[in-house]
Structure 1
Amino acid sequence: VTTYILTVMNMVSSLFKDGTIGTDINIVVVSLLLLEQDPLGLNINHHADQSLNSFCQWQSGLVGKGGKRHDHAILLTGLDICSWKNEPCDTLGFAPISGMCSKYRSCTINEDTGLGLAFTIAHESGHNFGMIHDGEGNPCRKTEGNIMSPTLAGNNGVFSWSTCSRQYLSRFLGTAQASCLGDEPKQIGQYKYPEQLPGQLYDADTQCKWQFGSKARLCSLDFVKDICKSLWCHRAGHRCETKFMPAAEGTSCGPDMWCRRGQCVKYGEHGPRAIHGQWSAWSQWSDCSRTCGGGVMYRERSCSSPRPQNNGKFCPGPSRLNHLCNTRSCPTSAIDFRAQQCAEYNSKPFRGWYYKWKPYTKVDDEDICKLYCIAEDYDFFFAMSSKVKDGTSCSDHKGDVCIDGVCEAVGCDQILGSKASLDACGVCQGDNSTCKFVKGQYSLQHQANEYYTMVTVPAGAQSIHIQEMEVSTSYLAVRSLRRKYYLTGDWMVDWPGKFSFGGTVFDYQRSFNKPESLYAAGPTNESLVFEILLQGRNPGVVWEYTLPHTERKPEYSWGVARSDCSAPCAGGRISTKAICLQDQRTQVNSSMCNPLPRPTLGSHLCNTQPCPAYWTTGDWGACSRSCGGGQQTRTLRCLRKVTYQREEVVAHSLCPSISPAQVQPCHIQACPPEWSTGSWSQCSKSCGRGLRKRSVFCRSTDPGANAVVVPDSMCRQHHKPKAQETCVLQRCPKNEKLQWILTPWGECSRSCGSGIQRRELRCGERDSQEGYVEYPIRRCRNMAKPLVELQQVCNRGLCPEVPQAVPGRTTSSAMGLGWYSSPWQQCSVSCGGGVQTRTIQCLRHGLPSAGCLPHQRPAASRACNTHFCPAAPLAPVQRPSNRVTAAGSTLKDERCADLFSWCHLVPQHGVCTHKFYGQQCCKSCSSRKP
């Protein structure tokens, strides 16, 4: 058992030596107690909270050899503990937050789960160091596999400390509470620590038994290669399972292989190379936390270049540097800084009510940097914040300040951490030579139960120390010359503490085993009378204080001080003034001298010659060009100062030969390319609206022949000139022949059933051949349009009632979707080439749909009866002309005609290019656009 526990504690020690913790924590076992049954006063059960309270109380009475106590107590138990009930559950450990070094709270309880117990101990001890779970009230994430994660699970088999844990620990170690950790414990010789790694002492099967029971074994599947990251175990009747804890260091993970730092490496190797941390650069200094009275500014760096890895060392030295700033005293009217912070809560409800808060400082030293406030006119106080703002004084009588919740010492030289202190005379780092010591002793015996004066200390006294020579039942008392008691007056004995009176703070100490004492740094601003309230025999009281040396009174007299000439030329002045001298040597404030004999003095001119001439320039004018090299000029004058207030312009020859430049180049950068244009062309029409054009190109702006044409993209597109525009040379004569032309009715919009036919109104002119030439609509805009209908209903016969599926086409049986066609209609002619048509529809379950594939649509027409008719005359086909007929369609030669009634279908089905159809249906094919 001892070897097992020491192995676990070795693992705990290794975790606290990991570089990510940021400091040196040395774990030393000073005592090991094996309890086979609960001793008197110790009650351990499944209830972790109750068991911890019992253990903490019990361990407070344990004392080691030589009367020395341990710093921290750890209880290991095989019981399955639970934080909230006396039954087993998944709790692994329990600990008081920030209990380290406390007699009754520096203790933890930990459930033994095998070698993973080391991580539980480190986690719970972290709580005792003041650490809080990652992700709970701090920016660190819960799932990064750090030791203080709410659930223990390493990051690829490696456990480390988060940034938040490191900050919590650093903050705790800076408090007075952590002082017990400073002494080095004595090495205990009777314990022999194992020299092998944990995994060498206890193989993977043993580790599985400890985690899952005596019948558990290492999983025989391929998980074995990952046991250095997560140990997978198997129980009969169960699947392979894991608690996401790695196999211990040194566990065999294959032939001649072992686990080191989360990796399976060759036996004898130490795993990944340790990477020691390096500091980043310092940040900029922060703003000062106060405007007066001594604020704090800081700069920070992080151990991230690189971060420590694989048990590498953390960066040595501090991560933050603090510096006092704005140390001048605040105005007497300023509100106390701690009082300001309490007053900020006046506007916030406290348990449903509003109060006026004032500072409360009668707290323990370790809590002095917490913001305790007391409700005005009430007798309760509360910690409103876990820490006051940086720069807040720790107390009224010392210059120390709170920084990040810790009271930091400030020397009398106003430097953080400085050891500089005031001497007995109140001089910083002085040698006590500037004052005299006054000492005395009061040992007279008097009748008991009366006040007796011992000494009167004058105003200005410093380093006042009053102390009884022996422990007694008498009390020290202090009053003013006017018999106003400040301490233990009117038969009312005050408790020990700090008392402010007489311009300073007195520290009154009284305990059962030490003589009573009073101390104040001073200086006092009034005379104080120190008395003793006798309660028996006078034990004797000694006292001591300092006063400034009394020196000869200095003599003050008037003297005369002469100034230098105020100017080297153009008329300066020499002034004389009276000064007050101390002992004819040192100048002091004029108020020290008698004002009546003060001499009356004045001033006179000096150096009245003119000053040498000098050049003066005006402002530069505007540049002559915005680019491509321009010039700018300025005025240049030669001036000479004649008197203190007057200057004159003189000849340039009187000024220095080297004069400032009057002209300088400007905007020398090349101009960007610009658009260039050619000449406009002739208007395209001799009358009416026409067009004219010109070339537009992008050209560089280099002068002369250096200009070249460049790509249009180099010029600004929104500035590009127009390449064409409309033009009107003259109005065209009014055309009397213009009229509105009505086109023939178009084809019906549907091949069966009811549809729509449309026709158009066009602008045209009758020609000599009884046809029409068509013009743009705007030519007829001044003519009234005829009132005619431009669309009508048409009917091409009934549509087929029952559509049939197209043979050979595939339809979706599930959807009922496909192309359907009606039977072929009768051929339009009996010979000479006709057309048969049919209706094609896309149907889904008998209803029209748009889901059919277009490329599968079957033909809606086909040629038929294409054999030649024996006696059918053929009309010659002529080239179409550019005229329009009276009906508005394009005119063809009179011999271009339709020879069949179905010719209107030919252009609809796109077969006009067929030689036969084109000849037989010349008119229809010529009147339709292809």
Structure 2
Amino acid sequence: MDNVLRTRAAYGHSCLVFREIICDNESKGKVVPSPACISLARWGEDLGWHWATVCRSSHGTRFSMAPRFLCPMTQCQVFTFLLLSLIRTSEGEFFISPLPKDLAAEHNYSAPSGHHPHVLYKRSAEQRIHGSTVTPDPPNPAYPYLRNHPRQHGKLQLQHFCGRRKKYAPKPPPEDRLYTPDEAGRAKRSPIPASTVGGLNVETLVVADRKMLEKHGRENVTTYILTVMNMVSSLFKDGTIGKDINIVVVSLLLLEQDPLGLSINHHADQSLNSFCQWQSGLMGKNGKRHDHAILLTGLDICSWKNEPCDTLGFAPISGMCNKYRSCTINEDTGLGLAFTIAHESGHNFGMIHDGEGNPCRKTEGNIMSPTLAGNNGVFSWSACSRQYLDRFLGTAQASCLVDEPRHIGQYKYPEQLPGQLYDADTQCKWQFGSKAKLCDLESLKDICKSLWCHRVGQRCETKFMPAAEGTTCGPNMWCRRGQCVRFGDLGPRAVHGQWSEWSKWSGCSRTCGGGVMSRERSCNKPRPQFNGKFCQGSSRAHQLCNAKTCPPSAVDFRAQQCAEYNSKPFRGWYYKWKPYTKVEAEDICKLYCIAEDFDFFFAMASKVKDGTSCSDARADVCVDGQCEPVGCDQVLGSKVTLDACGVCKGDNTTCRFYKGRYLQQHRASAYYPLVTIPVGARGIRVQILEVSSSSLAVRSLKRKYYLTGSWTADSPGKFRFAGTAFEHQRSFSRPESLQALGPTNETLVVEILLQGRNPGVVWEYNLPRSDKKHTYTWGLVRSECTAQCAGGRISTKAVCFQDQRTQVNSSLCNPQTKPAAGSQLCNTHPCPAYWEPGEWGSCSRSCGGGQQARAVRCLRRVSYQRQEAVEPSLCPAVAPARTQPCQAQTCPPQWGSGAWSQCSKTCGRGLRKRTVFCRSSDAVVVLDRMCEPQHKPKAQETCVMRRCPKNDRLQWFTTPWGECSVSCGPGAQKRELRCGERNPRGEYAEFPLRRCRNLPKPAPELQQACSKGACPRPASGRTPGAAAPGWYTSPWQQCSVSCGGGVQVRSVHCLRGGRPTAGCQSSQRPITSRACNTQFCTAPSPAAGEGQTCTDSFGWCHQVPQHGLCNHKFYGQKCCKSCSRKIW
């Protein structure tokens, strides 16, 4: 023990092991107390374990429970109780309930932190608000393929009760979590048998936190906890639960401080997650884990925030036996804590609140009712709770409850009942506070049904919880089973339940293929009362019906169920659903469907319809979500099987077994027969001895291949022919095999399609044994003609017949009398004429609908290899079409254009424009980018309407003489001949020379001699060749324009003695260009300008003539007015 303690302390974990387990001994209606002692541990402030031995009394109790196959859930599915209070006065009964938050906000009510405003109203007023009760929608049967599913619950509005409303899931979990299965390897165990000897044991760890110790005191808390667990055990022993469940406390742990890894606060969700994770690492001294862990806290917990609120308990759904989820948290409320523990443990068993997604009513006194209130002081389990429990116990997860807890020692326990240990005043203090006491009512015995208490200066009130068993209810009276009886009396005698008569059989779930019909009975003749036993046996019975085979055209029953969801939207989309059966064995009776053409499957329903086959390999069927065996006797639940001969309950003696092997080698690759299997064969097995490229083939006597025909090997799978199912197996690592149960309804020939060396083949089958002696004779079998016309062949083959009726293996006939076989021609007449269409020609259009043609000939086959053309009249009246439409698809958009505009000039060269657009095939204008840009037509082009008329005012004129080409000495000056028009002021408007090409061209002198005077003589002593260099300029050339600003240029050279030199001073160099004819050009008359208006396009146009840019094409056009203005 010390070694275990040190090890646990070192890891920060804790565990308590009982010295003995309290046993249940009941005889003749009297409870015989069982002596026992336990060792309990507490985690002290010194972070160490402290141990003590405590002995107490228990009545008919075994303490136990534990977790296994579950995972910790941060956002788990949880349930809690609803508690209310009622105040009774001389004026009547009143309810008190919390004010809804929306009404509190509307009326600006507020309260300190942790408090809540309440409303008070008469009980009679409750009848007027029944219609406001809200019930949650039934759970959706379709779930994705996840290991956990979120269960969302609606808000509950309580009827008939008021006070502190205890409700579950005030903040539903926002997301689901994925968890890995328990590493302990228990998930594959079989479900619990229907009848388990000694009942089911829930080995339970109970942990009490620091607040519990502070509330009850270290000396009293152990007795209190064991008393509560005693009550829990009696609730699970109640006959209405329908099962023998023992709650066995195997460990009790008292925490003076939170151990490492465990965090407990007001937030029930967070605390439960921490506790579930922490307890998953605890282990008993004997190396065994507990099945279930219960955390008792003295804090006022809340399911969704770290503040006190109305939550009483929290538990994962179906968490029992899971290592990480078989755990609950329960708020201490006095002895009523026992009902909270039973309720939350019920959720761990997979139970849902009565009236929420099930037909049971929210009846007072039901342990799984959303409201915690007894029915005349008695609590029981509803039919729905029993059904949920049965469903959970039918799963492999529940297998942890089968094993027996190990006894460690035996000690004596006291015999007091809970009410003897804790009187009514103490129970009132636990429910309503330290100042509460039992109400002094005239009818004190009512406390056995509802404990009425009052606080100083307040009215009597109740939470509709009965006083504990054994509580004094009057002089020499105590409470037993909800009634106030004389002390020593055990109360009402236990009434054991008895079954009612069976109901009529229901309709069959299927019309063929083996459906299921059921009948029911109820445990109500009489119902179990006062801890009476529930009826033994099942409340439902099933049997097969309509077992005849469905017709081949019938749709698979599971496929029908999946197809029902084709017309229902799945997450906003419609899919075609097919069955998906590649799931775990325990999920085979859930309706999993896979979306056709999509790679996902989904659980569309929690269970398939009754009578759905579990698998194609056996006759078992699903009943109420569980796969039930079906024997060969067609009895549901029977495990009787067929023998190898196909006889139900047979011993393999009614048939004869045949086997052989084929080892013959061949050179050519071809089909070679292995064995002929007769009609009625069973247990067929054919296997190639080695991995090979050769393949097994099966055909009929008429050479119809069922497997591997036409030199093509079939893939492995299941094939149905000859009246039975064949399983064809083939892989790269295992030899090919073929198996069938039989019986066959036709003779089959098994062949091998040999590819190379024969690897060897073995075969076997069996036939019904017959004592009759058979005769075996040869017969000739003629095949059908291979062609109906133009020459075919008929082949004959010798085959062996049994009794001249049934074809059998040739080895049974005498080979010496085997007749010869051969073939002959048949049906040599020509075949009827037929039309033979040729290939289609190309389409007349690439899009938008065209035509294509082909040749059609009338032919007739006259032999196997020859055909001839004949008159079309010999062919059928209706000939194949010779033309057909083609390329009907819409043409792509094409460029289109409008009409050309008029030419911009009435004479001479001008421009014309048109609109170019992209147009679809239906003449709708679309965006240009939809057409091919390289094929876009031109939007404008040059045009010449006519030659402009001759201008009579045009004439040749000469420019002024330019400057002399030298600055001294003899030189030359030049002038140019130009074309222009002279205005009345004598000024010329220059035109291109081509305008005067039709005028006689004069020949004036364009160059003449000039002199600027004698050049200065060189300085004395210098030779002429040594004259100083100087700048020399040519005459100015003619101005580039006659008006509007032009440019004149001249050449400038540095010369010395008439020769170029580089000795001139650059600062004295003359200019080489200057502006000329800067006056504005005269605006043309309307006649000359074709009626066009001359305007300026920009505000800066007045600067254009100042810079001599009027002759520029752009500036001249855009600043026409400024360039034509006269300069004064």
TM-score with structure 2 setting the length: 0.41
Q: Greater relative contact order: 1 or 2 (C-alpha under 8 angstroms, separation 6 or more)?
A: 2
TM-score with structure 1 setting the length: 0.49
